Homo-oligomer: A and B are copies of this chain.
Amino acid sequence: MKPTNDIFLRALLRQPTEYTPIWLMRQAGRYLPEYNATRRRAGSFLALAKSPDLATEVTLQPVDRYPLDAAILFSDILTVPDAMGLGLYFVEGEGPKFERPIRSESDVAALAAPDPELSLSYVTDAVRSIRKALGNRIPLIGFSGSPWTLACYMVEGGGSDDFRLVKTMLYTRPDLMHRLLAVNVRAVTDYLNAQIRAGAQAVMIFDTWGGALSDAAYRAFSLPAMAEVVRGLDRDHDGERVPCILFTKGGGLWLEDIADTGCDAVGVDWTVDLARARQRIGARCALQGNLDPMVLLAGVEATRTEATRVLDSFGSPKRADGGIDGHVFNLGHGISQFTDPAVVDALVETVHTHSRRLRT
């Protein structure tokens, strides 16, 4: 069943829309006092992510507060390697870590794609619970990390500045990296399809670290792995099209190649000029982005100015030939914890109002 407000889905599928839909990466997050209250009750970030009830609660918080056009499942991209048995844990102020990182040939050989219905049932339960709580108001987005981005965390054992270990594996043992990515492709595909079966109405693949790769390595490793996931997705589910968004942070040079995967939309960060991105791939894919989240820290006036600039850069979705190009407004990365929630009100209002004006 289509949600009452399906403008986000229509924009992704390049159908006519009355205004530009908006949602925000990490919209359920630490800038919201109600999120922090739930997080404190949960005791830890992982306890929050692993409780379907609490994940539902925080997923709904931003969409109850703001007239956003999509909700996104509250979860973490590292649930998949955690379900593979790597032992995810968080160190305060240091980010995610794995107890058992993947470093050797035997580590890779021992890896298997988890059955999401078994070891990630807390996620599919959350998707079902969120859909129920949303009551068909707006669509729900499911998501996963990209195979390469998951591999970065799995090999490094956490975040990294230089990706020394994972790149050393890639360059010394490309065969091993391809085997690791093959497991991740299977795992991410199964995971996203389980989310779709549970009720996710669109899915997004976060290739947060694709932009750390060289041009040649991106084309040989991250991109083909994502293309395989896209091909394996159940994008026609129960008679509804489930659009898929691919986002490689720092991937502005590869937009045509990302569009070639067959995804429905390409996420772009703020280094990309939307007008040129639209010229390059707008006839094939919708675009999603791309305000710098730091703009929001500069207050209401700067946020209105810069959001208007982003909308004007894309322009009216109507092409000269009468066709429609798609734009979903978003940030170019997750919203900062230092954001004033009142500024988000102004942002959503500006995007809705100014984009209606652009269409007249």
- The yes or no answer to A321 lying at the interface (CB within 8 A) is no
Nearest neighbor of A296 in chain B, beta-carbon distance: B171
Q: Give the bracket for the number of chain A residues in contact with chain B.
A: 35 or more
Which residues of the other chain, B, contact A170 by a CB distance below 8 angstroms? 298
- A271 near B218: Cβ-Cβ < 8 Å: yes
Taking the closest CB of chain B, its distance from the CB of A334, in whole angstroms, is 10
Query: Which residues, 285 to 308 on A, are CB-close (under 8 Å) to B?
Result: 290-292, 294-295, 297-299, 302, 306
Point out the residue from B171, B273, B298, B313 that lies within 8 Å of A294, measured CB to CB.
B171
Q: How far is the CA of A163 from the CA of B270 in the complex (A)?
A: 14
- The yes or no answer to A90 lying at the interface (CB within 8 A) is no
- The yes or no answer to A338 lying at the interface (CB within 8 A) is yes
Point out the residue from B171, B211, B272, B294 that lies within 8 Å of A167, measured CB to CB.
B294
- A167 near B309: Cβ-Cβ < 8 Å: no
Q: How far is the CA of A37 from the CA of B193 in the complex (A)?
A: 57
Known A172-B302, A271-B253, A302-B172; contact A167-B297, beta-carbon cutoff 8 A = yes
- A167 near B292: Cβ-Cβ < 8 Å: yes
Q: How far is the CA of A172 from the CA of B217 in the complex (A)?
A: 39
Known A253-B253, A253-B271; contact A297-B214, beta-carbon cutoff 8 A = no
Top 5 A-B pairs ranked by shortest CB distance?
A: A171-B298, A214-B270, A167-B294, A171-B302, A215-B273
- Chain A residues with CB under 8 Å of chain B are 162-164, 167-168, 170-172, 211, 213-218, 250, 252-253, 270-273, 290-292, 294-295, 297-299, 302, 306, 309, 313, 332, 336, 338
Q: Can you list 30 contacts pairing A with B, beta carbon distance less than 8 Å? A: A162-B294, A164-B294, A164-B336, A167-B297, A168-B294, A170-B298, A171-B294, A171-B295, A171-B297, A171-B302, A171-B306, A172-B298, A211-B271, A213-B271, A214-B270, A214-B290, A214-B291, A214-B292, A214-B306, A214-B332, A215-B272, A215-B273, A216-B306, A216-B313, A217-B292, A250-B250, A253-B253, A253-B271, A253-B272, A253-B273
